[in-house]
């Protein structure tokens, strides 16, 4: 009979993958692979990133060109129909991704840096420093974000995207700072921090290497929250007509759709699709939150094992 060729049987490959996944370096990958919600979030985000980077690949039409039949129903040429100005809805949707995504990431990142810097520092330093920083946080916290944005937008008609981002960051960091401060405050009297202090570690070192790693999940949650907030606030502002009406974004699409009564006039996709896109981008950020409570907080894992042992 034919000799059996020696090679890695399929079982060994699976074992290899499993070993890769279980390694310490594979923590992130394992959490993402093992968590379907996080997986969905990552895939969605990756898809939007692709749309933002290479819109031409998916939609060759010029999103602003008013050259097609007006208010056409979906067809092979226009997957989602056309607007009442004769623009291709699908092209607008794809090309609008970039602005929404950029605003979300930039605002999320900047706001998170601010929240961590102010919230954790306040909690750790305590005393007068805490009072002053908390007061500062409170001031920004009590200024309700959306009305303030509306008011500023009303004063500075057509302010441009830089003002939009600045205002969203200024109004978006305080919530996270307060949350992070509460958690850091509860960590303050923990043994490992007392030990670090007794070792004579410098303050910034304790904050960066002792406190922050234990708060990773909350920090990531804050980034995702701030990004989500930016997506929704920017879209809301554009929807009520306080954004730049000629910009290419989902909120602006909704504004024009609402202005032309797209829902009643038989072009529901013009209004529904940008809304779904906003919701999906926001949903991606929300779903990713699930992954990070497992990655960032080692305390979660023992609890899980304990539960499995108790109720089989």
Partner 1 sequence: MSYVVRRLGFFVVTLWSCLTINFVLPRLMPGNPAIAMMARFRGRVNGQVLHALEIAFGVNTKQSEISQYFGYLGDTLTGHFGVSLTFFPDTVLQVVRSAILWTLVLVGVTTIIGFVLGTLIGMISGWRRGSKLDSILPPVFVVTSAFPYFFVALLLLLAFSITLGWTPLGFGYSNTDTIGWTWHFIGDVLDHAILPACTILITSIGGWILTMRNNMITTLAEDYVRMARAKGLSPARIMMDYAGRNAILPNLTGFAMSLGFVVSGAILVEYVFSYPGLGYMLLEAVQNEDFALMQTLFLLITVAVLVAVLVVDFVTLVLDPRTRSER
Residue 221 CA from chain centroid, whole number: 9
Cβ at position 157, least distance to partner 1 in Å: 8
State yes or no: residue 4 binds partner 1 (CB under 8 A): no
Q: Which stretch binds partner 1 (CB under 8 A): 5-13, 93-101, 204-212, 293-301?
A: 293-301
Site string for partner 1, 212-231 (x = CB under 8 A): -----xx--x------x---
d(CA 24, CA 27): 5
State yes or no: residue 166 binds partner 1 (CB under 8 A): no
Instruction: Check the CA dihedral 245-249-255-259 and report its sign.
Output: positive
**Number of residues forming the site for partner 1 (CB under 8 A):** 68
State yes or no: residue 21 binds partner 1 (CB under 8 A): no
CA distances from 183 to 123, 178, 189 (A): 9, 9, 12
- Figure out which of the listed residues 34, 144, 160, 213 binds partner 1, where binding follows CB under 8 A: 144
Site string for partner 1, 185-214 (x = CB under 8 A): xx-xx-------------------------
Long-range interactions of 132-139: CB distance < 8 A, separation 24+:
134/181, 137/174, 137/177, 137/178, 137/181, 138/174, 138/178
Query: Under rule CB under 8 A, which residues in 30-69 are in contact with partner 1?
Result: 37
Contact present, 252 and 240 (Cβ < 8 Å): no
d(CA 226, CA 100): 13
Instruction: Check the CA dihedral 271-274-278-279 and report its sign.
Output: positive
* Residue ranges that bind partner 1, judged by CB under 8 A: 37, 126, 131, 134-135, 138-139, 141-148, 150-157, 175, 178-179, 182-183, 185-186, 188-189, 217-218, 221, 228, 232, 235-236, 239-240, 242, 254, 258, 263-264, 268, 271-272, 275, 278-279, 281-283, 285-287, 289-290, 293, 297, 299-300, 302-304, 307
């Amino acid at each position: 009979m034919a000799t059996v060729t020696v090679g890695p049987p399929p079982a060994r490959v699976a074992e290899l993958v499993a070993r890769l996944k279980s390694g310490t370096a594979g923590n992130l990958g394992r959490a993402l692979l093992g968590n379907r919600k996080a997986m969905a979030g990552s895939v969605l985000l990756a898809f939007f990133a692709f749309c933002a980077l290479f819109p031409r690949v998916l939609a060759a039409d010029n999103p602003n060109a008013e050259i097609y039949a007006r208010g056409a129903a979906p067809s092979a040429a226009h997957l989602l129909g056309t607007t009442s100005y004769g623009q291709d809805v699908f092209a607008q949707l794809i090309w609008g991704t970039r602005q929404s995504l950029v605003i979300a990431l930039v605002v999320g990142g900047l706001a998170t840096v601010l929240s961590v810097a102010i919230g954790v520092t306040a909690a750790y330093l305590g005393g007068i420093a805490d009072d002053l920083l908390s007061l500062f946080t409170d001031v920004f916290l009590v200024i309700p974000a959306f009305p303030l944005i509306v008011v500023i937008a009303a004063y500075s008609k057509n302010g441009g995207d830089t003002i939009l981002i600045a205002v969203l960051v200024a109004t978006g960091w305080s919530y996270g700072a307060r949350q992070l401060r509460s958690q850091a405050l509860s960590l303050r009297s923990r043994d490992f921090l007392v030990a670090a202090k007794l070792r004579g570690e410098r303050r910034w070192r304790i904050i960066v290497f002792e406190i922050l790693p234990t708060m990773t999940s909350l920090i990531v949650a804050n980034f995702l929250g701030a990004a989500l907030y930016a997506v929704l606030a920017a879209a809301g502002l554009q929807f009520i007509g306080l954004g730049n009406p000629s910009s290419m974004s989902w909120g602006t699409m909704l504004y024009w759709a609402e202005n032309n009564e797209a829902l009643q006039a038989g072009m529901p996709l013009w209004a529904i699709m940008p809304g779904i896109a906003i919701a999906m981008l926001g949903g991606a950020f929300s779903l990713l939150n699930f992954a990070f409570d497992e990655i960032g907080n080692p305390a979660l894992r023992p609890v899980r094992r304990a539960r499995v042992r108790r109720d089989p």
